[in-house]
Amino acid sequence: MTRKASGLKAWALQRVTAIYIGVFALYLLFALMFDNPSSYPAWIQWFAHPIMGIATLVFIVSILLHAWVGVRDVIIDYIKPIAIRAPLLALIALSLLACALWASQSLILVRLI
């Protein structure tokens, strides 16, 4: 893949994730305004529904991918020494991966309760 195509792929990923994040955030806003779960068991039941669980997982992955593309582009543009840039990108990637695992664990535990 050429460098130009890689940039286009990152641009498209940034736009697609932004759209999903916006749509899901609006859904959450309206769902919580009109059908707010009133207790902790109601929250668990709401997130335990398969469609809500999958939509939430896609939302979390979208946020993490959106963050990765944005932070990676800023670091690549402004930090020129590779000795600093590579470890910093690795640290950010590991941090985002840890966030993804933690969020996935939370959604799995909701299904098990």
Question: What pLDDT, on the 0 to 100 scale, is given for residue 42?
Answer: 86
Q: Taking 70 as the threshold, does the pLDDT of residue 3 lie above it?
A: no
pTM of the predicted model over 0.75: yes
- What share of the chain has pLDDT > 70, as a percent? 94
Delimit the domains of the chain by residue range: 3-112
Tell me, which fold does domain 3-112 have in CATH? 3 helical TM bundles of succinate and fumarate reductases (1.20.1300)
What's the mean pLDDT when you consider all of the chain?
A: 89
- Mean pLDDT, to the nearest integer, of 63-81? 94
Question: What pLDDT, on the 0 to 100 scale, is given for residue 74?
Answer: 93
Compute and round to an integer the Cα radius of gyration of the chain.
17
> Secondary structure of 61-95 in the HEC alphabet?
HHHHHHHHHHHHHHHHHHCCCHHHHHHHHHHHHHH
